Amino acid sequence: MPKKWIISPTVPTEFLNLHPELPPIVTRLLYNRNIKTPEQIDEFLNPDYTQDIHDPFLFNDMEKAVEIIFSNIKQQKNIVIHGDYDADGVCASATIVSCLKNMGAKNVSVFLPHRETDGYGLNLKTVKNLSDKKTDLIITCDCGVSNTPEVKLAKELGMMVIITDHHSIPAEIPPADAIIHPKISGENYPDKGLCGGAVAFKLVQALLKKHKETNGILADGQSHAAFEKWLLDLAAISSIGDMVPLVGESRTLTKYGLTVLNKTKNIGLKKLMFVAGILDENGQPKRGSINAHMIGFQIVPRLNAAGRMDHANSAYALLMATDEHEAEELAWQLNQNNLDRQKLTENLVNQAIKQIKDSGQEKNSALFAFGEDWPTGVLGLVSGRLKDMFYKPSLAMGLNSDKEIVGSGRSISEFNLIASMQERPEFFDKFGGHPQACG
């Protein structure tokens, strides 16, 4: 298919003259990215952790969420972190679990859904199972805002629920005890573009700030500030992996996260970067400093491959590993998952293209492809490839273990996919996502 070229408007000469200290190409890029005020330009070109990171307690429900969590820790209640199966959700889960354990939580565990059998987000079966296991508090990571029936059930069963999420807001908001979401109606938090892992990091920032008031040190002996900074590598992986715009706070978190990643203490990440060819046998970068491209094309695909081809638990276990031998085994496992994912995706993309051409869909405004045996873990990759090839909203579908049709869509910038689904919810049992990606 031919490329679709989008030409940006000419930058006014007045704007170029305002910034003679910058190369003209940089000034044009800033203008075209709507970065125009001196403050915006400085934040973009010179992110500063002390100045550009907002107080986490600016979130409307943050104080409430922190109080609930500390109360549950103090009473040694059972806390479950319910994450997601992609790199963003796994990093978010590891971020919160690491913090809670370091603050002395005795009964904290993680639940990551299986893509095929559980689907995205909370489901009623999982909520019932968590209740049967005497769960007192559920904290969601990178999911939850679209799960009103599930949250209602959790509340009926006597559990408290804190949602941390960043996905599109549905018509009905779940009756959670606290919702940490930058885009929810009436939210005062100034930065609306955070990914799931960054939202989780903001919760951790708030918890550490509160914990420091009465505790001089954490369980592992680190200061609160040091522990916070060492989690930034996960925030950077989340931000790049979920492809949020790297502006504002996301840019600052990613810049400093890259610095941390280059000297990370995370054993699992070190082993994964070795297996991916980023680090040598001595743990040194092979091709200069670790950068955003390496995260996006070498680290994130391997973390995502766990949930796509098997179960995200192996990616989570890698991030939480404390034993080098175990971490290396998990890293090689994820590497193999990724190789298998690449072969499977290529095969299904070819099948999907044939379907579209054979059915005459090329002339349509949107594209649909379906395979009964297409694994749900790669449907998003298939629809993404179709969108790129034909420059049209695309939906790839398959059957899950319950023989229900499940799909993953990707869209072009001119068409809001999730808004179109919200207009006709009667066609779906469950859905969620972003303007350009849905499931």
Which pLDDT tens digit goes with each residue over 296-345? 999 999 999 999 999 999 999 999 999 999 999 999 999 999 999 999 99
Residue type present at position 174: P
Buried b (16+ CB within 10 A) or exposed e, 228-259: bbbbbbbbbbbbbbbebebbbbbbbbbbbbbb
Q: Write down the pLDDT at residue 140.
A: 98
Domain locations in the chain as residue ranges: 13-46, 56-261, 264-358, 359-438
Q: Write down the pLDDT at residue 7.
A: 85
pLDDT over threshold 90, residue 215: no
> In this structure, what token pair is assigned to residue 195?
């990914």
Q: How confident is the model at residue 120 (pLDDT cuts 50, 70, 90)?
A: confident
User: Which of 13-17, 74-78, 133-137, 307-311 has the weakest average pLDDT?
Assistant: 13-17
Rounded average pLDDT over 376-384: 94
Distance CA 152, CA 133 (A): 18
Find the Cα–Cα–Cα–Cα dihedral 233, 234, 235, 241, rounded to 10°.
Answer: 110
- Consecutive H or E run containing 353: helix 324-358
Annotation: CATH topology of 56-261: inorganic pyrophosphatase (n-terminal core) (3.90.1640)
Q: Which CATH class is domain 264-358?
A: alpha beta
Annotation: CATH topology of 359-438: Diaminopimelate Epimerase; Chain A, domain 1 (3.10.310)
Point out which residues pair with 396 in neighbouring strands.
Answer: 369, 408
pLDDT over threshold 70, residue 411: yes
Point out which residues pair with 138 in neighbouring strands.
Answer: 80, 161
Q: Find, among 143, 120, 118, 141, the residue nearest to 128 by Cα.
A: 118
Q: Write down the pLDDT at residue 2.
A: 59
Rounded average pLDDT over 224-229: 97
Distance CA 298, CA 321 (A): 19
Rounded average pLDDT over 206-215: 94
Rounded average pLDDT over 373-383: 94
Q: How confident is the model at residue 352 (pLDDT cuts 50, 70, 90)?
A: very high
Looking up tokens 């959790």 gives 154
Which carries the bigger pLDDT value, residue 3 or residue 393? 393
Q: How confident is the model at residue 433 (pLDDT cuts 50, 70, 90)?
A: confident
pLDDT over threshold 90, residue 27: yes
Query: Quick one: 2 exposed, middle or buried, by C-beta within 10 A (0-12, 13-18, 19+)?
Result: exposed
Please enumerate in sequence order all residues whose Cβ is within 8 A of that of 274, keeping only pairs 6 or more positions apart, or say none: 280, 281, 283, 328, 331
Q: How confident is the model at residue 1 (pLDDT cuts 50, 70, 90)?
A: low
C-alpha distances in Å from residue 197, one per residue of 6, 261, 306: 31, 15, 18
Fold matches, 56-261 and 264-358: yes
Phi, psi of 81 (to 5 degrees): -90, 115
Distance CA 29, CA 97 (A): 39
Mean pLDDT of the chain: 95
Instruction: State the maximum Cα–Cα separation within the chain, in Å, rounded to a whole number.
Output: 67
pLDDT over threshold 90, residue 214: no
Q: Write down the pLDDT at residue 400.
A: 85
Rounded average pLDDT over 85-107: 97
> In this structure, what token pair is assigned to residue 219?
């369980």
